[in-house]
Chains A and B, each alone.
Chain A
Amino acid sequence: MSGTLNRTDFLAYTGRLGAGLCIALSLPLGTKAADLATGAAGTTPAGEFAPNAWVRIAPDETVTVMVSKSEMGQGIATGFCTILADELDAPIANVRYAFAPASPEYVDAFFGDMTTGGSTSTPDSWMPLRQAGATARAMLVAAAAKQWSVDPATCTAANGVVTHAASSKTATYGSLASAASQIAVPKDVPLKTPDRFTLIGKHVARLDTPFKVNGKAKYGIDTVVPGMVHASVVRSPVFGGSVSHFDATKAKAINGVIDVFAISSGVAVVAKNTWAARQAHDAVHVAWNDGPNAHVNSKVLLEQAHALVATAKVAKKVGDVTSVHGTTLKSTFETPFLAHAPMEPMNATADVRADGVEVWAPTQVQTRSQQIAMAITGLPANKVQVHTTYLGGGFGRRLDADYVGDAVEISKKIGKPVKVTWPREQDIQHDFYRPMSVNAVTGTLDASGNLVALSHTVVADSVAKRWAPPLFKDGIDPLALDGAWNTPYDVANMDYRYVDQNSGVPVGFMRAPAANVNTFATEVFMDELAHAAHKDPVAFRLALLSKAPRAAAVLQAAAKAAGYGKKMPAGQAQGIALCLWGGSYGALVADVSLNGTDVVVHRTVMAVDCGTVINPDIVRMQTQGAVNYGLAMARSAKITLANGRVSQTNFYDYTVLRNADAPPTHVIVMPSTEKPSGIGELGTPPIAPAIANAVFKLNGKRIRKLPFSDALA
C-alpha cells in the first residue's frame, strides 16, 4: 500500500499512534553475541549499555542494532544500522544487527503493529533510529565527561571514541558502556544536520552480503530445532474448499512418515524429513467439498469485470468532468491475476509447548504471526515468541502468515517442533494473488490539445477488505486506486471510481500493489493523449506537471540520460513512463524491440527521487530489481483459473524473468534533502507502460492488455 496517500486512513484504522522510540527494554539475560548469519538477537551480557530498544553497546565495542523490519532483500538491516551508527558516531565495522522479536517496543506507527510493507520502513523508522543513536551518543559522552570531571560540552565523539581535546583524554564506547548505563536517559537530544552525516548518503557495503555468498545466511526454511519433524499440508484445489474424507494408507506406508491428519488448512502429513513428507503429500487421497468457488473461471471473471465498470462508485472528484468538451479518448485496460513466487517457498517452524510457543518464520508480519499462534494455542502474547529469519524474498506474499498457522496447528497436535515446507506448486496455486483488473479511462483534450478532464474507473478485488477491513468503506478500497487517483498530473476535472469485483479468489498485496496495474493504464493513456494532441509524450506530460516539480525533474532526468527522442537502431524504440510510489518519484525509459510475441528490453534508464538517500548503492540495487520484477509481471506471466482451480503449477508454466531476458538498468539517483521515502517498489510500476509505449512506436499497436505475450499474440 502507499506510504503517503493513505497514511491518515491507516492511522485512523489502527488508532495506535507514535510507538516511536521506547526506552523500556526487556532483552533476555545471558551472554551471546548477535549472529549476523541468523539475525538472532543474542543476549545482553553484564556491562552492556542498552539505552533504548534499538541499540546495545558491549564492552568489546560491538554495537548491536535491533532491526524491527524484515530483511527480505531490500537491504533494510544495513540501512537501519547506517542511520543509527551515523547519529551514534560509531564505526560501521563495529555494527551488528539482530531481528527484533514481536514486542510492543517495535510497533510501527503507520501499521500499528510489526509489519514490513508499503516501502514505509525507512521513512517510518528513520527518526526513531536517529534519536536512539543520538541519545546513546549523548549518554556515552556524559559518562566520559563524568569520569574526567569535565563539562560534556567540551567533549567530542567520533568513530566510536569520546575525546576531551583540552586534556587529550580519550575513551572508547566499549570502555564507557558500563558507566553510560548509569547515566539518566536525556530527552530531546539534538540530531545532526545533514552536512555532518558520515555514513548516510555514502557507500556502505551491505552487512548481509558475506553471509549470502557462502550459504551461511539462515532463512526460515533452514530452521533446525532439536527434535524437529517435517510436514507438508495437502490443500483444497478450490479456494475455500474443505476436507470431506481422506485415505492415508499409501502415505503412511512411505518410509519416514510419522502421521497424517486433518487440520484447518487441509490434510497434514508429518515425516522425518522433507522428502518423505513431500512423497506422503502426493500419496494421500483426499476427497474435497469444493464449496462455493468450484466454478470460478478467470475468463468469465474478466467478462464480469468489464460489465462492472458501469456500476463503479465515485471515490474522488475534482471539478466536473462533464463540464468540458473537446476530443474525447476512451481506453480499457486488462491485467491478469499474478502470483508473487518469492524464491524461498512458504514455510514456518513452530514449537508448541505447555509453557509457550516459539515460531521461526520468514515473515513480513510479526504481530499477525504472533496473533495466529495465540488464536490456535489460546496462549497470551507474552508466551508466544516470534523469531524472524532472513526472508528469501517477500514482495508482499509474506504480508500474510497462513504458513505460520500450519506449523502451529501441527506442532500443537503432535507435541513436537515441526517445520512446514510448501511445495512450489502450492506457492503458485495457493497465493494471495495480485488481483485481476479492468481499468477504464476517459480523457478530454481541449482545442489546443490540453488535457482538461480525466476519468478513471478501477474494477478489481479489494485486498483491504480482508487485510485491513476498516479501510474498506462504502464499497471503496482506497488502496486499489493507488497509481491512479494520487496522480501528479494537474488536470482541472477528474473523476475516480472503483468497484470491488468480489471474485472469490484470495487476493493480496504485490510489489507496488494496485499501482503496478493502474500506472500501466494511466501512463499508456498519457501517451495516447499526447499522440492525439500531436505532442511529444515528454512535453505533454511536463505541461501537466507544473505543480509537481519532483515528478517533472525525474521525467526530465530519465529522458535526458536515455537520450529519449534520439534515433534508435533499426527495430528498436524507446518508451517512457512516470510513476509515484511510497512518497517517491520515478521515471523510466525502456529501449525495446519485438521478437514475435515477445518484448525484448535492451536497456532501461530510471531516475528516482526518494528524498534523502541512506545508501545510494542499495537504491540502485532496489531499482534494478524492482524493474526486473515489473518486467516479469508484464512479459508473459499470468495466473488463470478454470473450474475453481489455478491452471499454473511451477516455474515452467508460471513464467518469471531469467538471466538472458533481464536488461541492464541505469539508475539516476536524484540528490535531495527531503525526508527519506520508499524505494523498494518504485521501479515496478513504470516498466510495463514504458514498454507498451515503445511497442506503439514499433508497430503502431496500442497494448492495453497484459501480459505482452497475450497482447501481441
Chain B
Amino acid sequence: MVALYINGVHHELDVSPEMPILWAVRDVVGLTGTKFGCGVAACGACTVHLDGKAIRSCVTPVSAAAGRHVTTIEGLAPEGKEHPLQAAWVEDQVPQCGYCQSGQIMSAAALIKKTPNPSDKEIEAAMSGNICRCGCYERINSAIRRAAHETANA
C-alpha cells in the first residue's frame, strides 16, 4: 500500500512499491492523460510533477512518491480552468497527433515556474528531453514564449 496525493487528492494504492508512477496513475487510478512512450526516460511523454518538479514517471517508482504530491496533466489547472500554457498551446495550434503534448506541457510548466522568462536556449535545453515525432517543436517553443510573456504581463 502506497499513500500519496495525486492532483491534490489523497490515494492509497494497493500496488507493488516498484510500480512506476506512470502505470499506477494510468492503470490503477485511471488517469490516462500521462502517456507511455519509451519506458526508459528517453522521450518525456510520461512527464508529471513530483512536488512541483518535472520527473519521468516511467522510471520513478510509486514508493518515491509516498506522502508526496504528484501532479498530472489533468491536475495542472483547477477543473474547468486553463493553465496559461494550455491557452498558449491552443492559440498557437501546437498539437498534431497530440500524444506527446501532456508531457511537453508538464515539462514546460516546470520550466516557466522555475524560469519565468526563459531564453530560447533555456527553452531548448529544458524541452529537449521531450520527443515530438510529429515535429511540433517550433510551435511548442513559440507557445512557451507566449505563455511566459502573458504570465509576465498579467
Contacts and interface: CB of A to CB of B under 8 A. Distances in A.
Contacts of B35: 219, 221, 343-344, 392
Contact of B33 (A215, A342, A390, A393): A215
B1 interface: no
A142 interface: no
Contacts of B31: 215
A342 B133 contact: yes
B112 interface: no
A662 B138 contact: yes
A103 to B, nearest CB: 24
Nearest to A223: B32
Contacts of B52: none
Interface centre among B37, B102, B123 (most CB of A within 10 A): B37
Contact of A214 (B33, B124, B129): B33
Contacts of A224: 30, 32
A342 B133 CA distance: 6
A650 B42 CA distance: 8
A224 B124 CA distance: 35
B33 A657 contact: no
A475 to B, nearest CB: 34
Nearest to B45: A343
A273 interface: yes
B74 interface: yes
A444 interface: no
A212 B135 contact: no
A72 B97 contact: yes
Contact of B86 (A213, A625, A626, A627): A213
Interface stretch (A203-211, A242-250, A555-563): A203-211
Contacts of A644: none
A274 B36 contact: yes
A273 B27 contact: yes
Interface string A233-275: 0000000000000000000000110000000000000000111
Contact of B99 (A74, A255, A256, A343): A343
Contacts of A353: none
Given A274-B23, A278-B39, A209 B133 contact: no
A656 B131 contact: yes
Contact of B127 (A342, A421, A656, A659): A659
Interface residues on A, range: 35 or more
Contacts, number: 182
Nearest to A71: B97
A219 B99 contact: yes
Interface string A622-652: 1011111100100000000000000000111
Interface string A287-315: 00000000000000000000000000000
B98 A212 contact: yes
A583 to B, nearest CB: 22
Contacts of B130: 659
Interface in A190-239: 205-206, 208-219, 221-222, 224, 230
A621 interface: yes
Contacts of B76: 214
A423 interface: yes
Contacts of A658: 128-129, 131, 137
Nearest to B31: A215
Given A213-B89, A393-B97, A625 B39 contact: no
B38 A621 contact: no
Given A206-B93, A659-B124, A392 B140 contact: no
A664 B101 contact: no
B132 interface: yes
Nearest to B16: A255
B6 interface: no
A401 interface: no
A650 B40 contact: yes
Contact of A273 (B28, B37, B38, B137): B28
Nearest to B34: A215
B54 interface: no
A465 B38 CA distance: 32
A73 B98 contact: yes
Contact of A626 (B16, B34, B135): B135
Contacts of A174: none
Contact of A662 (B32, B101, B137): B137
Interface centre among B30, B73, B98 (most CB of A within 10 A): B98
A659 B73 contact: no
A222 B135 contact: no
A213 B97 contact: no
A664 B138 contact: yes
B101 A212 contact: yes
B30 to A, nearest CB: 7
Interface string B59-87: 00000000000001110110000100010
Interface string A161-181: 000000000000000000000
A44 to B, nearest CB: 28
Contacts of B89: 209, 213
Contacts of A216: 33
Interface of A: 72-75, 205-206, 208-219, 221-222, 224, 230, 255-256, 273-275, 278, 341-345, 390-395, 421, 423-424, 617, 621-622, 624-629, 632, 650-652, 656-660, 662-665
Interface of B: 15-16, 19-20, 23, 26-28, 30-40, 42-43, 45, 72-74, 76-77, 82, 86, 89-90, 93-102, 105, 123-125, 127-141
Given A343-B134, A656-B131, 14 more contacts: A72-B97, A205-B90, A209-B93, A214-B77, A215-B72, A273-B15, A273-B19, A278-B39, A342-B99, A343-B99, A344-B97, A393-B99, A625-B135, A626-B135
Smallest CB-CB A-B distances: 10 pairs: A215-B33, A628-B135, A392-B99, A212-B98, A73-B97, A73-B96, A215-B73, A662-B137, A222-B32, A212-B95
12 contacts: A209-B89, A209-B90, A209-B95, A213-B86, A222-B32, A274-B23, A343-B45, A343-B97, A424-B38, A424-B43, A650-B40, A662-B138
